[in-house]
Copies of this chain bind each other. A is one copy, B any other.
Amino acid sequence: MNAIDKFASLLTLTREPFPASTKSAIAGSRPDLRVPVRDVALTNGEVVSLYDTSGPYTDAAVEIDVRRGLPDVRAAWIAERGDTESYEGRLRAALDDGAKNEDREAERIAQLRAEAAALQRTPRRARSGANVTQMHYARRGIVTPEMEYVALRENGKREWMAEYLANEERTRRVAGNPMGASIPRIITPEFVRDEVARGRAIIPANINHPEVEPMAIGRNFRVKINANIGNSAVTSSIEEEVEKLVWAIRWGADNVMDLSTGKNIHTTRDWIVRNSPVPIGTVPIYQALEKVGGVAEDLTWPIYRDTLIEQAEQGVDYFTIHAGLRLPFIHLTANRMTGIVSRGGSIMAKWCIAHHQESFLYTHFEDICDIMKAYDVSFSLGDGLRPGSGADANDEAQFAELRTLGELTQVAWKHDVQTMIEGPGHVPMHMIQANMDEQIKTCHEAPFYTLGPLTIDIAPGYDHIASAIGAAMIGWAGTAMLCYVTPKEHLGLPDRDDVKQGIIAYKIAAHAADVAKGHPGARSRDDALSKARFEFRWQDQFNLGLDPDTARDFHDETLPKDASKTAHFCSMCGPKFCSMKITQEVREYAAAKGLAESEALAQGMVGKSAEFKAGGGEIYIPIQPQA
């Protein structure tokens, strides 16, 4: 079976629609603006509509051909703006895929490139003097289709939530604590524009990635998650990596970073971007390092610059750039427990020390801005000095770099380049809030994008959990996107199941944050599931969960019969001890006897109790014999 056939066969599995789910769309102001949602049909006739990151893959009606890539959702919008031009583009080199002429893999790479040829697009760039970023449009007062798309997507279908939202309004008890965020009840396209204009949100959407379904990253929108995929020199293959993208968005990744290193990274990236409905991020220094044979000292600005253009032409939506790791900060890591743990950061530190020079990422930052604004690539300003252990959290090295990222944010904004800020890493719970406070203060509310943080260091094999705790907390505090951590963190390259485990843990963290912030509608899904749970609608309980397959499998391990899907108990407590079953009996009993009677009795006893208290403050416990 050749590579593409293997991918296609994996994809068949991954494309299966979620149980009881159909792809639906929210119509925008123009016929080509249709925001996808997943509608889940419940057994009681209700429909719950969910935010959907999975793209056309879960739409049974769409024919997918990985050799052609996804439909160009945005192509017309980009063309209509009339500020871009197509051009020949940079000449591709064997070195882009890590091959030298004498390389034994040259033949295989040539074949892969031939297979991927149909995926190559003629790149576009801004016309001379133009700036094509969403921030630039926003600052000129323009509401782009991308902004409208984001607004509709964030709101979702509100109709089905009405009962739950009304209940929230009524009680106010469970109203969220936004921790300084300013979340409107309804997100309008104009609100999106204003958030992008002031830099508080970004819409990563390279003009060369017209396949992307636009989404926003910002503290006043739903908390998003990023999944990393990528081969490494030691293991993995292209086919696995592309399938991982489809797998990752199926389970809810809002963004995906392609962190491939080693061979074939250019071709891998073509495959991924052309087949991705979510924004793709990269760390360009990885490819640049490959081009100089892995010798950090040999990196140069021209090689790096060429790599940025190469990837911008392919359609990468955001670049992690460690421009805040300056020469003067490196010695601050000398007494750290775990030194520098960012790959990009350590590469640049090595370069700076070797040359005794300031980082070329810092000195050429405005040159980089010029490239970013010609394609609308967003900055993800990297935290090369993030702590790699609780012992190093919140130290001077980390915060010196963060302050520099704040300075660079203002430079980027001078160019209307969209910018987010990367954050740690390893941070004990009690030191998390300080990270958010410092970031908001020094980076002027540019979206924060953190890796975890891991709250402890002793959980190798379970770092998705150790970090989901920190991620939920920092998400509540205002972080806009959470970079996932898989169970393999610190140990090895995640496989398919690790990716899923990491994503589910982070969907939990992000959702917990949305609920805590009081994001409108976030709790409605919880309410719908809780109601299904209380009413013993097992199928609905499974299907409303983050992972219906696993929930159903777990239930069926001990009660596999179809009849038990409507049973009023599960094997956890058995029929006699099911509290929900008993509660329903209590309610029926109360209804039969008349709740009024029961309440009156209760009121009477409360009154009595109050009497006892008034009589002396001591509680009185009657010892009454009872048959």
Contact = CB atoms under 8 A, between A and B. Distances in A.
A602 B328 contact: yes
Given A232-B571, A330-B586, A334-B587, A621 B339 contact: no
A174 B576 CA distance: 50
Given A174-B390, A429-B473, A525 B619 contact: no
A34 to B, nearest CB: 26
A516 B430 contact: yes
A623 B338 contact: no
Question: Which size bracket describes the interface of A in this complex?
Answer: 35 or more
Given A346-B582, A601-B356, A605-B328, A390 B428 contact: no
For the complex formed by this chain, how many copies does it contain in all? 2
B547 A461 contact: yes
Interface string A391-409: 1011100000000000100
Given A232-B571, A605-B326, A512 B598 contact: no
Contacts of A553: 461
B627 A328 contact: no
B350 A585 contact: yes
A78 to B, nearest CB: 30
Given A469-B508, A573-B232, A541 B579 contact: no
Interface in A144-165: none
A24 interface: no
Interface core residue of A233, A456, A488 (most chain B CB under 10 Å): A456
A546 interface: yes
Contacts of A261: 573-574, 576-577
A177 B598 CA distance: 47
A389 interface: yes
Contacts of A508: 455-456, 459, 462, 465-466, 469
A561 to B, nearest CB: 11
Interface string A468-497: 110011001000000000011111110100
B328 A545 contact: no
A342 B579 contact: yes
A108 interface: no
A572 interface: yes
Contact of A328 (B339, B583, B603, B623): B603
A526 B558 contact: no
A47 B612 CA distance: 61
Given A328-B602, A329-B602, A391-B527, A465 B468 contact: yes
Nearest to A494: B572
Interface stretch (A9-17, A64-72, A371-379, A528-536): A528-536
Contact of A512 (B466, B523, B557): B466
Contact of A621 (B329, B411, B525, B624): B411
A96 interface: no
B391 A530 contact: yes
Given A395-B173, A554-B488, A571-B493, A338 B534 contact: yes
A515 B428 contact: yes
Interface string A296-334: 100011100000000000000000000000111111011
B579 A345 contact: yes
A347 interface: yes
Given A328-B609, A462-B505, A364 B619 contact: no
Contacts of A547: 461-462
A570 B605 contact: no
Nearest to A395: B173
A393 B469 contact: no
A325 to B, nearest CB: 12
Tell me which of A331, A513, A526, A577 has the highest count of chain B C-beta atoms within 10 A of its own C-beta: A577
Given A326-B605, A337-B534, 6 more contacts: A232-B571, A328-B602, A350-B586, A390-B523, A466-B512, A469-B508
Q: Which 5 A-B pairs have the closest CB atoms?
A: A389-B530, A339-B583, A346-B582, A233-B574, A461-B550
26 contacts: A176-B430, A232-B572, A330-B602, A331-B602, A338-B533, A339-B579, A340-B579, A340-B582, A343-B578, A345-B579, A349-B586, A353-B586, A363-B626, A388-B534, A390-B523, A428-B523, A429-B512, A455-B472, A457-B527, A458-B545, A459-B504, A461-B551, A464-B465, A465-B468, A469-B469, A491-B551
